[in-house]
Amino acid sequence: MSNQPQFRALSLGAGVQSSTLLALSAEGVLPRVDYAIFADTGWEPGSVYSHLDRLEKEIATPAGIPVLRVSSGNIRSDALNPDHRFASMPLHILNKDGRPGMIRRQCTGEYKVKPIKQKVRELLGYPHPTRVPKGVFVEQWVGISTDEFHRAKDADVKYMRNRHPLLDMYWSRADCVRYLTSLGLADTPKSSCLGCPFHGNSQWRHIRDTSPSEWADVVKFDEAIRQGNARANASGSRLLGEAFLHRSRVPLSQAPINHVTAAERAALRIGADEADVLENGVEDGCSPWACRGDSDVLTQDDFGLAT
């Protein structure tokens, strides 16, 4: 059995850490990856798509690294399409009895993990449902920096073996930002769906204050999912409670997204940790190969509290 990978692929989310890995590989500091694979949910902010285009044009292509964009569909339109099976987003729920909840997250698996696995199998020459022979695997690079080392995980399939080169180099997020800045990429955005319910207030404010059209888009989406996704409604599985994008479980257009001062925090009896999540969102970004912490409140099984 060979212990050599068939090829090296970078899981490119186009955020700080994976952009750093791409550049380190392109510059020859790290070995060259054979592919950089970007899983497109169809609803990233415009700044992420522009950054990805730039990475491809200025860094990947000159180094001979193909950037492969893969997709399982458009998460936004799928959620609003009554004829489409929908892999649920982690929406915040307010149950009829006032209890908070959260819908079980399936979107990362569907829109990020699945299309990457499909592409890897295709590149290996064993597309689903062909069995990948024992011992055949690819090396997959995942951008995890030292400040988030706890997120480093193995892949859940034998034909992919995860590596975390930033951890091997002891690079923190700040090291990555410094390096990207030296390459003229200081404005590398945070990658995640525009309307991800894991956003903290700082991300919501950023959208509101820098991109009115994207803000209008997320506000409209928030209104549209109040009773859950369209397919669930069409099939008679309506939510008993209401769904929201913002943690406060208030319509996004009215949600308290301005910065909470220490005095306000004290008045609201919010602890430091909770205030941090409120401001900065759930700690970890949505990466296909690293857990993003789920809610600390009651988790519902999809639309399990339906009529």
Residue closer to ligand SF4 by CB (options 266, 291) is: 291
Q: Residue from 193, 218, 232, 305 that binds ligand SF4 (CB under 6 A)?
A: 193
* Binding of ligand SF4 by 192 (CB under 6 A): yes
Yes or no: say if 246 and 277 are a contact pair by the CB < 8 Å rule. Answer: no
Yes or no: say if 241 and 225 are a contact pair by the CB < 8 Å rule. Answer: no
Residue closer to ligand SF4 by CB (options 35, 198) is: 198
Q: Residue from 70, 286, 290, 305 that binds ligand SF4 (CB under 6 A)?
A: 286
List the helix and strand counts (H, then E) for the chain: 12, 9
Question: What letter would DSSP give residue 61?
Answer: G
Cα three-residue angle 131-12-157, rounded to 5 degrees: 25
Question: What letter would DSSP give residue 150?
Answer: G
Residues sharing a CB contact under 8 Å with residue 269, sequence separation 6 or more, in sequence order:
none
Q: Residue from 38, 86, 198, 215 that binds ligand SF4 (CB under 6 A)?
A: 198
Q: Give dist(CA 256, CA 220) in Å, integer.
A: 17
* Binding of ligand SF4 by 89 (CB under 6 A): yes
* Binding of ligand SF4 by 108 (CB under 6 A): yes
Q: How far is the CB of 13 from ligand SF4 (least distance, A)?
A: 10
Helices (H), 211-261: 212-224, 230-234
Q: How far is the CB of 140 from ligand SF4 (least distance, A)?
A: 18
* Binding of ligand SF4 by 140 (CB under 6 A): no
Yes or no: say if 112 and 120 are a contact pair by the CB < 8 Å rule. Answer: no
Q: Residue from 11, 41, 188, 201 that binds ligand SF4 (CB under 6 A)?
A: 41
Yes or no: say if 281 and 198 are a contact pair by the CB < 8 Å rule. Answer: yes
Residue closer to ligand SF4 by CB (options 107, 255) is: 107
* Binding of ligand SF4 by 72 (CB under 6 A): no
Residue closer to ligand SF4 by CB (options 140, 203) is: 203
Binding stretches for ligand SF4 (CB under 6 A): 41, 75, 89-90, 105, 107-108, 111-112, 192-193, 196, 198, 286
